[in-house]
Structures are given as structure tokens and as C-alpha cells.
Structure 1
Amino acid sequence: MTAVRSFAESNELQTRLHRAVPGGAHTYARGADQYPDHMAPVLVRGAGARVWDADGNEYVEYGMGLRSVTLGHGYRPVIDAAAAAMADGMNFSRPTALELAAAEDFLDLVPGADMVKFAKNGSDATTAAIRLARAVTGRTGVAVCDHPFFSVDDWFIGTTDMSAGIPDTATADIHRFIYNDLDSLATVFGDHPDQVGAVIMEAATAMAEPAPGFLDGVRALCDRHGALLIFDEMITGFRWSAHGAQGMYGVTPDLSCWGKAMGNGFPISALAGKREYMELGGLNTDHDRVFLLSTTHGPETASLAAFRAVVEAYRTTDPVAAMENAGRALAEGVNAAAAEYGIADHLTVVGRPSCLVFVTRDPAGQPSQEYRTLFLQEIVGRGVLGQSFVTSAAHTADDIAHTVDAVRASLGVYRDALSAGSVAGFLRGRPVAPALRRLAEPRRLR
């Protein structure tokens, strides 16, 4: 039986959030519909890899701020650096010495980039990269890899199920290609000759490494057809490596977009790239200037100081190795427990050790939101919070052991539901729903 926990205060706060905030959260992936009914904790604080909700429940957390926290919640050197910067003022009418220091730190980490500009959100950077590539090439076509998410802006969201309010013209020049399938990208170029100005993609994902020669092939196709190559390093940057995926795989993009873990939770993103392109958004150009990134809060001092403290942590310690070691131990423990219960084909932890996901399958072996919800229901009730098993450098051996114990205690319910052929009678409420969907109300069990 699931451990008894009260969610009364969280549920009350969630009700009030829905009255005040569309969707009840500021990110769709954080929505209550992503968790079992009446079991969506509203959090009040965190430390390391642990968080506490409004009811006083403690959890080992995974996902870590949508992958934005790699060093752990409340990591002192980052907090202290940001606090010291804030004490001297947050925002000014001219650049600060801190902006230069942060830019030089960044460019030391990313040797393929000559210039960088900071912003606040990942979408700021990806949309600026698309605009810049279109200006450089004089072409409007964009080849977009089939990854889940690139931007909240029209050019991308218009291609998803949540496209209401976006005119078809915004996506008329967006063309999809398939990861690890060079022929699909070649087809895009062939079907739209001299029209594609940019190729945007993640170099790797939690579930997929680049096949031998794939990234080099993408680079070659871009060069052959005169398109700029853009790497989205939002997740891979500081999680695969401090130098990003481009540093690991040895393929240099023309532009790259960074965010998430740059500030260990502080709001900061970046667009970086080759000088000949980035200068079109500067003052030293003979071409029409590009309105690249011009933000009031892009250079605020707290986030820049936080970023510099993150860089120092990566220089002096090895957070990536710590994340991967924790992830390997977690995957081995959970997969072994699933095998003990005879359901290894139905519940599996997969992916890069620093970016793990759990796959839940129904009795027929098909991916299932209903069985995913049942699994979440059981582990949340036992003090494990997360839509994935994405680790941080703060996850300790005790955190991993607690998680494996919580999973093992949950597997009996999962196995019984598989044997019954349905989650009915086991799942309390509706199944979780995709964050990006056309209709508002998730389907309920009957």
C-alpha cells in the first residue's frame, strides 16, 4: 500500500494557483496535469537533491528544475556569488565589468564560438539564432530536427498541437527532418533548393546518441547548401559536458544556444557563434543590422555572477561525473528491482546516465500514460518526486538508495495492474497528459 501522505495544503494552493495563473504553473511541464490527481506537491524549499512541499512532505527530487540545476538546490558558492553581486546593484544603464568577465568565461569553455550574448530564456536564444541565420543567408527556410521542443515563439509552437493563435504563415517555411537520418535532411534541401537558411537541432538527446558520421554529415550538408548549423545546447550544455555536445563530438556549429544549467537555476541563457555572423547584431557591420538580442535583464548581475560560480565549480570539481555516477547507480538499482518482480519489459530506466528517463509500458508492451501515472502515484507517495530520473551532482548514495527502495515498494502494485490488464482499481484519478496538447482536459478513466 502507498505510504499515507497529506497533500491538503498543496491542493489548496494549487486551486488558488489555477485562479491566478493560467494553467496553474508558469511552465506547462510543471503543471498539475503532469502528476496524479491531488498529488501535485507545491514546493516551498530545497537543499541539495531534496525538496519539501507545503504540507511538510520531503522528497528526493529528479528533473532538478527542468534540468536547470546540476549542482544541487541552494549550492552555496552560487548563492553567495549572486548575493554579493546583488548587494552592489542588479541593473545599470551601461555594461558592467561583470558582463565582460562572464563573456570571457563562456568563450573559454566554448572554443568554437567567438562571441556571446546573454539573455534570460532558451527561447530568446533559439529565436535570435533563427533570425540571425535568415539575415545571414537571405533565406527564410528552416530545417528543424524532430526533437520535442525548441522555442515558445511562433516559428516553432505553430508546428505543435498547441498552435492556436498562430497564423499558418509563421510556419510555412519550417521543414522537419529525422535525427540520425542524413537522407531526411538531404531531402529537405533537395525539396527546397536555395531556400533553407538554417538547420537547428540537438546534437544528442537523453535517448539518442549521434550515429557515426551523422553530425559530420549534417555539417557537410549545411556547408554544401549554404545554410547555418545551429546546435541547441540547452540540455547538453553543462550536463553532457561544460563544453557542450559540440565539445564532446567534435563538430562545430555556426551558432549555438545555451541555458538551463548555466546558472544552476538562476535565469540566464546565451546565444554564441562565429564572429562574422554575430557581428551583424553589433555595431561593426557594413550589412543591414540584425535586432539580435536587446534585453533589459539579460545582463543583470545576479545571474551573471551565478554563471561565473557555476563555471568555477566545473573548473575545480567534476559535476558531470557525479551526475553520471548517480545515474548509473540509479538505473542499475531500478532495472534490477524490475527484473526481480518480473516486469523488466514493462518498466525500464534508459538514457544517458546524467539525463535518465523511465519508460512505462502496458500489458501489451506499449508505452502507456496510464501506467506512467500509476508509477508516479506510487513513488510520489513514497517520497520520490520527478517526471524523470534526471540527476544532479548533489544526489548522494542515500538519495539513490531511498529512490530504489521506493521503486521496489511500488512494483507490486504495478505488477498487479499488469496482471489485471488495466490500471482501473489501482490508479486514483485521471492519467497524466502530454504537456503540449490541443484540448485542455486530460481523458479520465471510466
Structure 2
Amino acid sequence: MHRGTRSRRRSQEVNERLHRAVPGGAHTYAKGDDQYPEGLAPVISHGRGAHVWDVDGNRYIEYGSGLRSVVLGHAHPRVVGAVQAQIGRGTNFVRPSLVEAEAAERFLETVPTAEMVKFAKNGSDATTAAVRLARAHTGRPMVAVCRDQPFFSTDDWFIGTTPMPSGIPPQDTLAFPYGDLDALDALLTEHEGAIACLVMEAATAFDPPADYLPGVRALADRHGCLLVLDEMITGFRWSPAGAQGLYGVVPDLSTFGKALGNGFAVSALAGRREVMERGGLRHEHERVFLLSTTHGAETHSLAAAMAVMDVFAEEDVIGELHRLGDRLRAGVSQAATRAGVGEHVVVRGRSSNLVFATLDGTGRPSQEYRTLFLRELVRGGVLGPSFVVSAALTDEDVDRTIEVVADACEVYRLALEAGDPLRYTGGRPVKPVFRRFA
């Protein structure tokens, strides 16, 4: 992990191959090479724990692993062992497997606010299924999403509200601000009887005001709509039961994914029996096509999820995430302050889910300064689109990261003094994921 000592030629070659074969050069927009400084987007060969190696042999300390999904670290032995054992018994059958019942029961023990659960492969499908259930249960067409939270689904009802609505007809989706009960009440009153559900994360970068989540719950009940909590990020980072388990709010429906499988493809839609059963066979209502996927309950992914839940039950993973995050936050903040950029390189968020802001000379978020900062991190052997920790990080990893950040902050200071970050970016700035034109 020595700064700039190894070639990245093979990564550049494979990136070109990816762009020829795959639209965008990646299967997730957030993994695209436009999210990294020019010429410094590594193509990964393999990973173990909190480290990954690119195809050129460069080793990196990795943060935000698998877009926050790899919470225990790559190739975690208990998860890998559970998957290997299950693969040898078959992964997909013409009828449900015993593992489906075991995983569902295990999940409901972990998330006690839920009475039923159905598994899928990705968060978008689970959250869209929640919206479909809410519309069927309430007989209402509209959805209200929290506008201060960036992503809920790849499906039309949400993507139609973003700066990338091409190919999507107008949607019955409204937006409300986080933390403002009066604004939410006004929206529900204006569209009285039309909004099927509120879709939101319980927490953002900061804990919610003490009265906010109980107030949202009360407003949903008063106006007859369902509360859907997206726990894709907060599940197994705020608590094993997600933010609802930490803050004590009971949603009608909630969706989990990411850390649930430690990188294996598994998500979950969970909630009240009365609502969930509308997607089943034991009711007298019109049927709802809820989730019906060939691969939704593959046995090895469910085995991975059960192994993850076992590790969280037996070890203080949440505590370790916070300890590592606290160490990283303190070190980065001190390094930035010492370099004179403490008001420009800012660490935010819950310690188990840290992000960083890169601000220009006027204090505004800057893609150019983000590019500069990411460039110095990558060159120093840190792959960090965020500072979201995994439990596989060691104190040595964190301390090495702080050293790299300290070096990056010195370059940051020079750019601020010159008023010209482009001099230090090495090429075009990184781009936001949601933008109208490529």
C-alpha cells in the first residue's frame, strides 16, 4: 500500500472491457468509474477481511464494502462455511426448502416487530413490494417518500422522482422533508385519503429528534396510511433489528438487505400479518402479486443470512463498529484540523455508518475537492468512497487510514490556498450518481 508505487494498467484495461460489454461499466451506478478519480478506479481481484486487492496487485484498506453490505468483512469464515455446507445440498428446488422456514423464523426472532417475512434478492424488489401491499391494503394510489434520503428503489415509482426519469411516465409519488412533522401533516391533509404509505429511513446522518418517529407513526395512523421503514442501511448497523429496534418505532412494513447477507444476495420484506398475508393464500381479499422470484429463496443466501444473524447474536458487532468508527472519526478530524482544513474535510453520521463531506473555500459541497481527496486516498492505499466501517477492520487499519488522510489534507490545504482544486485532481471531477446527462 505504498503511494503510487504500482501500476494500474490492468485495471484501466479491464475498465475498458467493462464499458464495451456492460452499460456504465458496472452493474451498480455507485460502483462506476465516474465515481472515482480519472485513471484510479481499481478493478477488484479479491478481498479478505477489510482488505481488497486489484487486478494489478495493489492492496487497499476498504470502506463501505459492497455498498455497506459486507459488514463482517470479506470471506467471513462462518458465513462462507454456512454457504459452502448448503451449496453441497442444492440451492434451488421446485418446492420450498426447510431452510426457508428456518431462515424466516430466525429473522422474525431478530426483528420482533415483524410477524411475517418474505425474502428476495435485492432491496428494490422488497421496497416496491411494500408499496404494492400498501396500495392494495389501503386502496389508495399515492406514495410519499422522504426527500432527504437518496434512494429507495430502482422501480418507476421512485426513480421517476429523481434527476434520471428518462423512460418513466409520471408517477403518483410525493415527497416530504425529514424531521418536520408539520410539513408531513400538511402533505397528508392536502392529499387526504390518497396516500397509501410513507416510505422512509428512520434515521439519516443524525439521530431523529426525540418526538419525530412517534409523531410520524401517529400521523400515519391518523391519516390511514401505512408506515414503511427502509432498513437497508440501518439494519445490522443501528441494531440487528435496525433503527426500529434502536428507537422503538413499530412500522407496518419494513425492508432489509445489504448487511443481512454480508455480501450475499438476500433481502427481506417484513411486517404485520394482516398486511403481509394479502400477498399470501389465506385471506378473502383480492390477491396481491407480492414477491415471486425464481432465486428469491436460494438456500445458500438464506444460510448466509442465518450465519450473519448468529454472529450478531453471539458477538458485539454493533459495539465494534462504533468503537472503530469513533477511532476513525476522531483521527480524521484531528488530522484535518492540524492541516488547517478542519472546516472543509468533515466526518458525519453515526459511528457505524460514517461518511465524509468535502467542502470548498465557501463551505459548499464540492465534487472537485471530493476528487482531490479520493485521489490521495486511493494513491495511499485506501479505497474509501465513504468511511463506513466493517467489523473486520483493525486498529492498525484505522491508524493507517488516518495517516493517509493526514497526507491528503495537506494537499487539500494547498488547493484551498491556490483556489484551484483542479490542479490536484489528475483529471475530470467525479460525478454524482443521479444526474440527467452522462
The TM-score by the shorter chain falls in which range?
A: over 0.9
Alignment of 1:385 onto 2:386:
no
Q: Which runs of 5+ in 2 are unaligned?
A: none
Q: Hey, which bits of structure 1, 4+ residues long, moved more than 4 A?
A: none
**Aligned ranges for residues 302-321 of structure 1 at < 5 Å?**
302-321=300-319
CA–CA distance in 1 between the matches of 2:211 and 2:128? 28
CA–CA distance in 2 between the matches of 1:362 and 1:199? 35
CA contact (8 A) 2:377 2:384 kept: no
CA–CA distance in 2 between the matches of 1:329 and 1:359? 18
Of the candidates 319, 336, 339, which is equivalent to residue 338 of structure 1? 336
Match of 2:119 in 1: 118
CA–CA distance in 1 between the matches of 2:168 and 2:57? 42
Instruction: Name the aligned partner's letter for residue 255 of structure 1.
Output: L
| Shift, 1:5, TM fit | 3.3
CA–CA distance in 1 between the matches of 2:23 and 2:4? 32
> Alpha carbon RMSD of aligned pairs, Å?
1.0
Q: Which runs of 5+ in 1 are unaligned?
A: 441-446
Alignment of 1:89 onto 2:87:
no
Match of 1:44 in 2: 45
CA contact (8 A) 1:115 1:275 kept: yes
CA–CA distance in 1 between the matches of 2:408 and 2:198? 43
Residues 34-43 or 179-188, more deviating: 179-188
Instruction: Name the aligned partner's letter for residue 296 of structure 2.
Output: G
Instruction: Name the aligned partner's letter for residue 214 of structure 2.
Output: D
**Aligned ranges for residues 292-441 of structure 1 at < 5 Å?**
292-440=290-438
Match of 2:19 in 1: 18
CA–CA distance in 1 between the matches of 2:208 and 2:11? 42
Alignment of 1:178 onto 2:177:
yes
CA–CA distance in 2 between the matches of 1:426 and 1:49? 28
Residues 19-28 or 4-13, more deviating: 4-13
The TM-score with structure 1 as length reference comes to: 0.97
Match of 1:109 in 2: 110
| Shift, 1:2, TM fit | 5.4
| Shift, 1:105, TM fit | 0.4
Match of 2:167 in 1: 165
Question: Structure 1 vs Structure 2: percent identity of aligned residues?
Answer: 58
CA–CA distance in 1 between the matches of 2:253 and 2:268? 10
CA contact (8 A) 2:368 2:422 kept: no
Residues 265-274 or 187-196, more deviating: 187-196
Alignment of 1:219 onto 2:217:
yes
CA contact (8 A) 1:320 1:354 kept: yes
CA contact (8 A) 1:143 1:185 kept: no
CA–CA distance in 2 between the matches of 1:182 and 1:219? 10
Instruction: Name the aligned partner's letter for residue 41 of structure 2.
Output: A
Of the candidates 152, 159, 163, which is equivalent to residue 150 of structure 1? 152
The TM-score with structure 2 as length reference comes to: 0.98
Instruction: Name the aligned partner's letter for residue 302 of structure 1.
Output: H
Match of 1:62 in 2: 63
CA–CA distance in 2 between the matches of 1:278 and 1:48? 37
Match of 1:28 in 2: 29
CA deviation profile, 1:291-326 (whole Å, cap 9, x unmatched): 011111111111000001001101110111111111
CA contact (8 A) 2:353 2:389 kept: yes
Instruction: Name the aligned partner's letter for residue 59 of structure 2.
Output: E
CA contact (8 A) 2:43 2:54 kept: yes
CA–CA distance in 2 between the matches of 1:367 and 1:436? 15
Instruction: Name the aligned partner's letter for residue 136 of structure 1.
Output: H
Instruction: Name the aligned partner's letter for residue 162 of structure 1.
Output: M
Instruction: Name the aligned partner's letter for residue 190 of structure 2.
Output: D
CA–CA distance in 1 between the matches of 2:19 and 2:183? 42
CA–CA distance in 2 between the matches of 1:365 and 1:219? 36
CA deviation profile, 1:419-444 (whole Å, cap 9, x unmatched): 0011132221000010111110xxxx
CA contact (8 A) 2:90 2:299 kept: yes
